[in-house]
C-alpha cells in the first residue's frame, strides 16, 4: 500500500524571517549612515598622563591638548626607523613654530633592551633636536596608548581626542599633512 504524497503545510515563518532580516538590515544601514554623517563622535579621548621632559619641565597631556594640537612620537634610540624619522619630526616642528595653530611635539622615549635615558639624551643632542622629549619610565604611557611597535605616532586634536595613530616611520610631508588635516585649515601657513 502506498501512502499519498504528504506535503508540509506552508508556514508564514519564511516570510516573517525575510521581513525581519530586511528591516534589520535597513535599520543598521540607516544607523550607520547617521553615525557617519554626524562624525561619529567615537574618537577615543586620549588618556591623560604627565611626564618630566629632558629639560626638566612637566608635560601634562590634558593641559597641552586644551590649547594645542599634540603629536606624540613613541621611540627608542636603537630603533632604526625611529632614528631615520627624527630629522623629519624636527623639520615639521620648526615649520609650525610661530603658526596660529599651536602644535606641540613630544618624543616619548620608551626604554627597550639596553637603551638608557642617557642614550636617548645623547641621541637627541647629537641630532640637535629642539622639540620636547621625555622618558616613559616603565612604559606606562606606552601601555595606556596600547603601543605595540616602534615608531608609533599619535596625533591628538585640541579637544583631547586621538585623531590618528600611525605605526611606521613618517616623513616630513606626512607629518605636516596630518597636522594640517587635524587643524582643519586653522594654521596660518
pLDDT tens by residue, 153-181: 999 999 999 999 999 999 999 999 999 99
Residue 57 has φ and ψ, to the nearest 5°, of -80, 160
Task: For residue 122, give the C-alpha cell.
Answer: 645623547
What's the pTM? 0.76
Quote the domain boundaries for residue 30. 16-43
Spell out the SS3 assignment of 18-67.
HHHHHHHHHHHHHHHHHHHHCCCCCCCECCCCEEEECCCCEEEHHHHHHH
Question: Is 11 domain-assigned?
Answer: no
Domain count, the chain: 2
177 lies in a domain? yes
- Asked whether residue 8 is domain-assigned, the answer is no
**Residue 77 shares a structural domain with residue 133:** yes
Mark whether 37 and 74 lie in a shared domain: no
Residues 55-111: tens digit of each pLDDT = 999 999 999 999 899 999 999 999 999 999 999 999 999 999 876 658 999 999 999
Residues 33 and 60 in one domain: no
Q: How far apart are CA 171 and CA 72, in angstroms?
A: 15
Residue 32 banded pLDDT, cuts 50, 70, 90: very low
* 9 is a domain residue: no
Residues 73 and 130 in one domain: yes
Copy the grid coordinates of residue 133.
622629549
Res 6 pLDDT > 80: no
| Range of lowest pLDDT (12-16, 33-37, 57-61, 135-139) | 33-37
CB 61 within 8 A of CB 70: yes
| φ, ψ for residue 152, nearest 5 deg | -130, 130
Whether 34 shows a pLDDT value over 50: the answer reads: no
Residues 57 and 23 in one domain: no
Are 103 and 119 members of one domain? yes
Report, as an integer, the average pLDDT of 28-49.
59
pLDDT score of 105: 97
Q: Are 98 and 156 in the same domain? A: yes
Amino acid at each position: 500500500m502506498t501512502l499519498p504524497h504528504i506535503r508540509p503545510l506552508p508556514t508564514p515563518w519564511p516570510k516573517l524571517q525575510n521581513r525581519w532580516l530586511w528591516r534589520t538590515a535597513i535599520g543598521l544601514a540607516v544607523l550607520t549612515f547617521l553615525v557617519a554623517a554626524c562624525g561619529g563622535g567615537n574618537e577615543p579621548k586620549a588618556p591623560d598622563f604627565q611626564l618630566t621632559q629632558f629639560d626638566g619641565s612637566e608635560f601634562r597631556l590634558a593641559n597641552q591638548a586644551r590649547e594645542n594640537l599634540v603629536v606624540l612620537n613613541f621611540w627608542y634610540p636603537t630603533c632604526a626607523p625611529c632614528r631615520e624619522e627624527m630629522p623629519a619630526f624636527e623639520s615639521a616642528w620648526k615649520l609650525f613654530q610661530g603658526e596660529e595653530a599651536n602644535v606641540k611635539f613630544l618624543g616619548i622615549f620608551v626604554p627597550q633592551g639596553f637603551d638608557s635615558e642617557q642614550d636617548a639624551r645623547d641621541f637627541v643632542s647629537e641630532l640637535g633636536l629642539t622639540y620636547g622629549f621625555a622618558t616613559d619610565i616603565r612604559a606606562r604611557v606606552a601601555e595606556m596608548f596600547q603601543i605595540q611597535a616602534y615608531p608609533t605616532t599619535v596625533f591628538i586634536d585640541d579637544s583631547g581626542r586621538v585623531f590618528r595613530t600611525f605605526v611606521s616611520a613618517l616623513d616630513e610631508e606626512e607629518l605636516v599633512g596630518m597636522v594640517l588635516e587635524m587643524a582643519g585649515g586653522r594654521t596660518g601657513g
